[in-house]
């Protein structure tokens, strides 16, 4: 019996060594964001193995973990580029601009949709990228421009189809208490961040069905986490996140994979220039009802600009994690449904999802609320 057990143990050890080596080879070829998840998974399995009743069961459990990891990593390998065509909206600046350059350098055929085809961002793309990149005039709130862009894409890709659509275009508006934000800002955020993305998706889905490609929607952590002063922006991104989740299920029968990117704080041009913020602030004050302005006070309202200033201060200037996650969503055999690039983004979203409302609100007031400004009426009462 002991001889049989010994031979079985040696056999399990040999299988474990082979599977472990295969996992390491797969891991070396996998992108960085996968590596972190694998390390965590190995740690959990390792802890379970250490609690095993005998060496035999430790080897069995470890062999099983290696097999599962090998299967998982096989789906994370990146498909060959093969000049796959990708449409990216909002490529004038920020993430869209950097992504257009990044995917072009990797060999993708990039269609960079811009709000202004004669602007500096569009000109820079033409000057610095390869001839495979095409700049398209694409205001995603204009149905005619979407149709024109579709015609140009079809003309170039012909029977190949379009491999991926990256809905990146977005605006944030002026951050303030939800009562202070004008209805025009709510409507504009929904028009760009949600309705525009939906209309682009609907227009280009026939091409994605042909290629069994990818739909990648750039949402935000504000779409899954209630952040003060971002009622209009967060609501529109939450709508986009839910739309993506539903489309992921509906489009699976066509072989189309849908991913949602929820970045944390990264420095992009979405917050606008100082002049643009001042103009939005003036517009907010000009259209605010007199009784509301009296209760809040002009000092409180003008203090809201601190939110964007602090956001810029604590945001990361390196958007590489976002680019890597988008590339994985576009290229992996089995991309993830959600990506959360940025420090602690996943943990914050998880904390909101599982914590009682009272606890979350307490920590939100303590750590997420910017500044100590109090509306005029409340300060007078105190």
Active site residues: 233
- Distance, CA of 156 to CA of 163 (rounded, Å): 13
Q: How far apart are CA 225 and CA 240, in angstroms?
A: 13
């Amino acid at each position: 019996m002991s001889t049989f057990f010994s031979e079985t143990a040696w056999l399990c050890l040999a299988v474990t060594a082979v599977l472990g080596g295969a996992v390491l080879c797969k891991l070396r070829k996998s992108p960085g964001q996968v590596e972190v998840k694998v390390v965590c998974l190995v740690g959990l399995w390792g802890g379970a193995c250490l609690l095993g009743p005998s060496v035999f069961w430790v080897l069995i459990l470890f062999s099983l973990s290696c097999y599962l990891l090998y299967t998982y990593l096989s789906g994370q390998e990146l498909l060959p580029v093969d000049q796959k065509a990708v449409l990216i909206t909002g490529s004038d600046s920020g993430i869209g601009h950097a992504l257009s350059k990044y995917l072009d350098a990797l060999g993708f055929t990039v269609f960079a949709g811009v709000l202004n085809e004669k602007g500096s961002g569009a000109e820079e793309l033409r000057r610095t990228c390869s001839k495979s990149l095409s700049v398209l005039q694409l205001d995603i709130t204009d149905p005619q421009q979407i149709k024109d862009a579709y015609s140009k894409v079809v003309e170039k890709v012909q029977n190949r189809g379009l491999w991926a659509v990256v809905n990146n275009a977005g605006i944030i508006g002026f951050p303030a208490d939800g009562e202070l934000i004008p209805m025009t800002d709510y409507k504009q955020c929904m028009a760009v961040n949600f309705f525009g993305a939906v209309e682009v998706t609907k227009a280009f889905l026939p091409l994605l069905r042909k290629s069994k490609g990818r739909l990648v929607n750039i949402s935000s952590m504000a779409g899954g986490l209630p952040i003060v002063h971002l009622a209009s922006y967060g609501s529109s991104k939450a709508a986009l996140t839910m739309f993506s989740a539903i489309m992921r299920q509906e489009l699976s029968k066509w072989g189309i994979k849908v991913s949602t990117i929820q970045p944390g704080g990264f420095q992009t041009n979405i917050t606008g220039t100082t002049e643009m913020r001042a103009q939005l602030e003036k517009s907010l004050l000009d259209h605010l009802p007199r009784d509301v302005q009296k209760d809040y006070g002009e000092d409180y309202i003008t203090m809201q600009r601190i939110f964007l200033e602090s956001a810029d201060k604590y945001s990361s200037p390196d958007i590489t994690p976002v680019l890597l996650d988008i590339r994985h969503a576009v290229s992996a055999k089995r991309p993830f449904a959600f990506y959360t690039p940025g420090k602690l983004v996943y943990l914050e979203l998880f904390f909101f999802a599982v914590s009682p409302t009272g606890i979350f609100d307490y920590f939100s007031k303590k750590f997420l609320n910017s500044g100590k400004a109090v509306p005029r009426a409340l300060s007078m009462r105190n």
